[in-house]
Amino acid sequence: MIKSRLLDRFLRYVQVDTTARDDAAGYPSSPGQLELGRMLVAELRGMGIADAAQDEHGIVLATIPSTLDRPAPTIAFCSHLDTSPETPGANVRPQVVENYAGGDLALPADPRRVIRVADCPELAGLVGRTLITGDGTTLLGADDKAGVAVIMEAADRLAADGQRAHGAVRICFTCDEEIGRGVDHIDIQRLGAAACYTLDGQGAGIIDVETFSADLAIVTIRGRNIHPSIAKGKMVNAVRAAGDFLARLPRDRLAPEVTEGREGFLHPYELAGGVAETRLKILLRDFSTPALAGHAEVLRRAAAETARAVPGVEFDIQVKVQYRNLGEGLAKEPRAVRCAERALEKLGLQAELAIVRGGTDGSRLTEMGLPTPNLSTGQHTPHSPLEWACLEEMEQSVEWIMAIAETWAETLDPAGGQPAP
């Protein structure tokens, strides 16, 4: 019954198109995020969580009151409503595979799309479980609607069980995380938590304790356009200069295709423009924040070499800070990770501390002063038509965050009182 309720939540949420739009000026960037947020507010209020509300930015906040007669730290759980723009997210048709028999999974709408055990070896350990996939034409949206469903199910159970000991629990659903704007309108003082947990990780029982530090480089290349019939000695083609520039970037290192673990990279992912002006967007990623300056210097050297090779071309390189390694901030509040580990031990399981080659809302929240490790939610292969989720891993995450709330209730509030909601 309870597991089927969790599945029902997830299936309903993924069918709302919440694709983030990088080219949109408003916040949130797509109307579906507001629609899903309104659904969640109605459901939270239906659980008896009276202060559930969606603010003018689409962010959903709610509070499950403390069941204690003494002060205890307030904690928060956070997931994002949007899905990645890298793969279509409209008209998601989730497929439920009950009692998974093992082997590869062909997706029904596109026989070329196959979830292969060779690519997802964790499938070998999930025989007999319930898996959810898309139909092959869209992403599934488990990133991060698995996290949303997990938090909503845990909230329902906590709100209904007044005997379970826990302090105040804040719930937060953000928008536009996938395009780097997830916490642009979060007021951590208003959130009022001693620690927060993003539910945005893959697999089960994993605590992400480090993320990349991230910058975005915008490389503008300016040439000189003229009609090609009279272009000799006059035209400076910014498109050709962009090709020359990209060819000078390392390919045997500092590229996502050839790096793993703690290795950083440069990732050109968008090119637009024409002869007169071409613009490139390049991700700079590393677990060491100081190393990002070195990656930017690689771009500047390549630009200088291209400028010498293509007379008349001009480069402008702007580097914008995106987020920083959350490990830098977690060290200031060790209880955040320690309580998550102890909570999983109460369930008879051992947590895996991991690094994630990406970022979360928690990266920025931690940088803002709110320690926010990331927890797994049963999602796999995000941002892809081959995305899938495991219901039993999602259920484990529900039990986990309920146990985290209980574990924090055993922790004395050092301020002698509970942070204001």
Q: Can you give the CATH number for the domain in which 114 is found?
A: 3.40.630.10
Threshold 0.75, pTM exceeds: yes
Whether the CB-CB separation of 170 and 372 falls below 8 Å is answered with no
**Domain identity same for 241 and 271:** yes
User: What's the total number of domains in the chain?
Assistant: 2
Q: Is residue 419 part of a domain?
A: no
Q: Is residue 34 part of a domain?
A: yes
| pLDDT at residue 131 tops 60 | yes
Q: Is residue 420 part of a domain?
A: no
Instruction: Using the 3D structure, point to which of 268, 288, 322 is the last residue of a domain.
Output: 322
Q: Quick one: which of 173, 144, 209 has its CA closest to 394?
A: 144
Q: Is residue 417 part of a domain?
A: no
Q: Quick one: which of 380, 80, 327 has its CA closest to 211?
A: 327
The region of weakest confidence among 58-67, 71-80, 137-146, 412-421 is 412-421
In the prediction, which pLDDT does 406 show?
97
CA separation for the pair 222, 314 (Å, rounded): 5
CA separation for the pair 405, 403 (Å, rounded): 5
Q: Quick one: which of 361, 357, 382 has its CA closest to 175?
A: 361
Q: Quick one: which of 306, 185, 328 has its CA closest to 237?
A: 306
**Domain identity same for 183 and 292:** no
Q: Can you give the CATH number for the domain in which 295 is found?
A: 3.30.70.360
In the prediction, which pLDDT does 421 show?
32
In the prediction, which pLDDT does 123 show?
98
The region of weakest confidence among 28-42, 286-300, 318-332, 335-349 is 318-332
**Domain identity same for 166 and 295:** no
In the prediction, which pLDDT does 23 show?
87
CA separation for the pair 99, 96 (Å, rounded): 10
Hey, how many other C-beta atoms are within 10 angstroms of the C-beta on 67? Answer: 19
Tokens of 262: 């703690």
**Angle, alpha carbons 171-174-176 (nearest 5°):** 165
Q: Is residue 418 part of a domain?
A: no
Range of the domain at 219: 213-322
Strand 206-211 to 374-380 pairing: antiparallel
In the prediction, which pLDDT does 22 show?
86
**Domain identity same for 248 and 333:** no
Q: What angle, 0 to 180 degrees and rounded to 10, lies between the N-to-C axes of helices 2-14 and 31-46?
A: 160
Handedness of CA 228, 230, 232, 238 (dihedral sign): negative
Of the pLDDT bands very low, low, confident and very high (cuts 50, 70, 90), residue 1 is low
**Domain identity same for 220 and 81:** no
| pLDDT at residue 31 tops 70 | yes
**Domain identity same for 41 and 188:** yes
Q: Is residue 71 part of a domain?
A: yes
| pLDDT at residue 417 tops 70 | no
For the segment 358-391, what is each residue's pLDDT rounded down to a tens digit? 888 999 999 999 999 999 999 999 999 999 999 9
Tell me the β-bridge partners of 80: 174
**Domain identity same for 244 and 122:** no
Q: Is residue 421 part of a domain?
A: no
The residues, any chain, with a CB within 8 Å of residue 294's CB and separated by 6 or more, are none
**Domain identity same for 346 and 401:** yes
Of the pLDDT bands very low, low, confident and very high (cuts 50, 70, 90), residue 260 is very high
In the prediction, which pLDDT does 411 show?
74
Task: Report the share of the chain in percent with pLDDT over 70.
Answer: 97
For the segment 212-256, what is each residue's pLDDT rounded down to a tens digit? 999 999 999 999 999 999 999 999 999 999 999 999 999 999 999
Of the pLDDT bands very low, low, confident and very high (cuts 50, 70, 90), residue 412 is low
Q: Is residue 415 part of a domain?
A: no
DSSP string, 209-228: EEE-EEEEEEEEEE-B---G
Catalytic residue IDs: 82, 177
Task: Report the share of the chain in percent with pLDDT over 90.
Answer: 92
**Domain identity same for 303 and 345:** no
CA separation for the pair 324, 288 (Å, rounded): 9
Handedness of CA 214, 215, 216, 219 (dihedral sign): negative
Q: Quick one: which of 35, 2, 16, 269 has its CA closest to 140?
A: 16
**Domain identity same for 8 and 142:** yes
Instruction: Using the 3D structure, point to which of 287, 322, 357 is the last residue of a domain.
Output: 322
Mean residue pLDDT across the chain: 95
**Domain identity same for 246 and 114:** no
**Domain identity same for 200 and 245:** no
Instruction: Using the 3D structure, point to which of 322, 356, 373 is the last residue of a domain.
Output: 322
| pLDDT at residue 211 tops 50 | yes
Which amino acid is located at 159 in the chain? A
| pLDDT at residue 413 tops 80 | no
Whether the CB-CB separation of 168 and 345 falls below 8 Å is answered with no
